[in-house]
Structure 1
Amino acid sequence: MKSKRDQLLTLIAHNPFISQQDLAEQLGLSRSAVAGHVAALTKERRILGRAYVLPGARHVVCIGGSNVDRKLRGLEPLQMGNSNPASLSESPGGVARNVAENLARLGLPVQLLTALGDDAAGRFLRSHAAALGVDCSASLIASDAPTGSYTAVLSPEGELVLGLAQMDLCERLRPDYLRQCAAQRAQASLTLVDLNLPAESLAFLLAQAASEAAAPLVAVAVSAPKMARLPQALQGLSLLILNHDELAAATGLALNDEADLQRAHQALAARGLGSLIVTQGSERLYFGHAGEALKSLKPTATRVVEVSGAGDAFAAGVCAALLQDPDDLASACKLGLRLARLTLQSEHSVSPELSPELLLP
């Protein structure tokens, strides 16, 4: 039979935010006895600080948006300004959440720091994450606001015509919340953030990454308008993943040819960025470290069922590969393209075909 101390560790692993009073009641101990066990375990480094973070496998920490995706796909060519017949599907979504699910399906330990409403949609997303092994126990739960939603209008061919996002809860992922999650973030093997975060939170994370021996920090763009949230000083940002339009918005440069892309890369490197990946749908993608010329890869042509989630799958593949070799951007992009291709061939925002075997040589 487990000792009381081992039982306490099991309860903490299941719920890092459990109170000492709840621990006492579930273990049949006094609160002072629980406090004594917690103090001893902290001294032994078997738990790490507030929220009772347990040492062990270092997680990829994903910080950013979660929402319910609603996809309306036209049954016939869409006519603007008219009512169009369509099919409807719903699934979990959000850039950081999608990346987290992709990584979990690859068999990697993942923690998701996000904001959810205390509503049916939020409970659905938490349940879905738990079933995949994604730890979102430290996420912010709001009782006074709904879980975010994203509505995508798709053409009959699966191409995005219009996207409408209601992501107000992400504005609550402010620095004070991130400070509360410092113990979880300290255990990261890699941290990924999406640009749904407030500008002040992005600046906070970059400043912290630049001043400490922190895990690599990767940022994923979500739209051209939200590039305004990216800080001017990019020291601490290991990698930025964005598309052609988002790069133009980030730099204020017209991007008409490869020479323009190279200039944009140099401009971001001068601001402190470590590495850059620029995707262009089915066209060539570009990648490179600061101080080097961008290189390119041509995605393999594939049958497209729909485009939703392909960019998030690409980002997850890049991160998974960089965990194995932080300097090999070419291999990272190749794995990202492989995951994106599987997602393009699926009607789901995250392909159910993903598995740990995809990480094998």
Structure 2
Amino acid sequence: MTELPKKEQLYELIRANPFISQQDLATQLGLSRSAVANYIATLVRERRILGRAYVLPDQRPVLCIGASNLDRKLRSIRKLALGTSNPATQDESFGGVARNIAENLARLGAPVALITAVGNDASGRALLAHAEDAGIDTRGALRLDGVSSGTYTAVLDQDGEMVVALADMALNDSLSPAFLATRQQQRASAALVVADLNLPLDSIAALLADTARDGLALVLVAVSEPKMARLPENLSGLRLLILNEGELATRVGRALDGDAAIGAACLELQRQGVQDLIVTRGACGVMYTSPGGVMRLDAPAVNVVDVTGAGDAFAAAVCWSLHSGETDLGLACRRGLQLSAMTIECEQTVCPALEPGHFDATPLDTVLD
């Protein structure tokens, strides 16, 4: 087989590890540093790479770390009957908490990158291709041979409410502290890091330590009550935790029977180190911490079509606000409720009507009041 030209060999090395140094490229290819720099400049001019992993200060992205998977939704045509066959319709799309947040952010016009794990299979390639088409930088993704990409299967009732969901997310355990260390340069160049709790406990702890050390803001998004076990006991360095009422109850180990109990639980987690919390409560709205105490916002009335992705849309709007320099968490939550409502009222996991300038073009009071 004819050996590839040096420029193509270099390109393949960068594809395999977008954060490889010029010195390592020179050593592996037997070239001088100046020759490597010339090849990289040529690839940039050809638009085959965008300056490798380096990001200009005014283009620092939101970096999303966590799950990408295929979403399968089965919706019952009539009232569900357990223990027997139910006629249903099926839809398949791309999902995963971190991936959904990243796509919402990209559609809103934010620079965004995604570190995730996929199988080196047709589904994994399709997931990454779709993300790249949406404007998401996926060069930091982990591609695994011999495993299937993750899947999430939701069963919805005839009103679009989720009855049960089954998730095959084991490959996310490959997003280990050792792997995340290979993406240190990308993480350090981010303006905001957003991670979901599909990551292993040790990886979440490593992100907390690294973001505190590097002075970065970290947002953690819960994904389910069982995976609250992946949240470290010490939350020092955490800018924001987004979770629902059941996940908060799991964390504090007791039932939460009203606003006062939720507020007390939020204060308990703040004593564990997190700066702020947002507790989503479905149709009851959200509660969030503020300098004046724990505040509450009601959710707008919506025509439910499909609730899948609503929580991820909420988190994306909050993160968009933080990335934009917004310090009012109440305004961020109002934007989150607006985007969540839009997502609930469409069939897609990520609302296709989103576009840059959305929050400037759509006043909040037209949706929430």
SS in 2 for 1:355: coil
The residue that corresponds to 2:278 in the other structure is 277
Aligned residues of 1:17 and 1:52 also touching (Cα < 8 A): no
SS in 1 for 2:181: helix
Q: Does 1:325 align with 2:341?
A: no
One-letter identity of the residue aligned with 2:54: L
Q: Deviations over 1:261-317 (max 9, x none)?
A: 11101110110011000010010310114x641111111101010100000000000
TM-superposed deviation, 1:213 = 1.7
Q: Deviation above 4 Å: which 4+ runs of structure 1? A: 18-21, 37-42
Q: Does 1:345 align with 2:348?
A: no
Q: What pairs up with 1:5-20 in 2 under 5 angstroms?
A: 15=15, 17=17
CA distance, structure 1, for counterparts of residue 38 and residue 226 of structure 2 = 50
Out of 115, 118, 124, the residue aligned to residue 117 of structure 2 is: 115
Query: 276-285 or 319-328: which moved more?
Result: 319-328
CA distance, structure 1, for counterparts of residue 285 and residue 188 of structure 2 = 36
Q: CA RMSD in A?
A: 2.6
SS in 2 for 1:319: helix
Q: What pairs up with 1:197-208 in 2 under 5 angstroms?
A: 197-208=199-210
TM-superposed deviation, 1:247 = 0.5
SS in 2 for 1:32: coil
TM-superposed deviation, 1:324 = 2.2
Identity %: 46
TM-score normalized with structure 2 length: 0.86
TM-superposed deviation, 1:210 = 2.2
CA distance, structure 2, for counterparts of residue 32 and residue 143 of structure 1 = 30
Q: Deviations over 1:66-105 (max 9, x none)?
A: 0000000001100011100000110000000000000000
Aligned residues of 2:102 and 2:316 also touching (Cα < 8 A): yes
Q: What pairs up with 1:28-67 in 2 under 5 angstroms?
A: 32-33=31-32, 35-38=33-36, 52-56=52-56, 57-67=59-69
Aligned residues of 1:16 and 1:52 also touching (Cα < 8 A): no
Aligned residues of 2:62 and 2:323 also touching (Cα < 8 A): no
CA distance, structure 1, for counterparts of residue 226 and residue 259 of structure 2 = 23
Aligned residues of 2:197 and 2:230 also touching (Cα < 8 A): yes
SS in 2 for 1:356: coil
TM-superposed deviation, 1:166 = 0.1
TM-superposed deviation, 1:257 = 1.2
TM-superposed deviation, 1:39 = 6.5
The residue that corresponds to 2:151 in the other structure is 149
Q: Deviations over 1:223-279 (max 9, x none)?
A: 011001100000011000011000001111320011101110111011001100001
Q: Does 1:188 align with 2:177?
A: no
Q: Does 1:229 align with 2:221?
A: no
Number of aligned residues: 337
Out of 78, 81, 87, the residue aligned to residue 80 of structure 2 is: 78
What are structure 1's unaligned runs of at least 5 residues? Answer: 1-6, 25-29
The residue that corresponds to 1:27 in the other structure is none
CA distance, structure 2, for counterparts of residue 210 and residue 255 of structure 1 = 31
SS in 2 for 1:69: strand
What are structure 2's unaligned runs of at least 5 residues? Answer: 1-6, 45-50, 362-369
TM-score normalized with structure 1 length: 0.88
One-letter identity of the residue aligned with 1:36: S
SS in 2 for 1:149: strand
The residue that corresponds to 2:99 in the other structure is 97
One-letter identity of the residue aligned with 2:343: T
The residue that corresponds to 1:335 in the other structure is 335
Q: Deviations over 1:168-227 (max 9, x none)?
A: 11010000010000011111111000000000000111112223322x100000001100
TM-superposed deviation, 1:125 = 0.3
Aligned residues of 1:16 and 1:53 also touching (Cα < 8 A): no
CA distance, structure 2, for counterparts of residue 83 and residue 210 of structure 1 = 51
Out of 176, 179, 186, the residue aligned to residue 177 of structure 1 is: 179
The residue that corresponds to 1:254 in the other structure is 255
SS in 1 for 2:232: coil
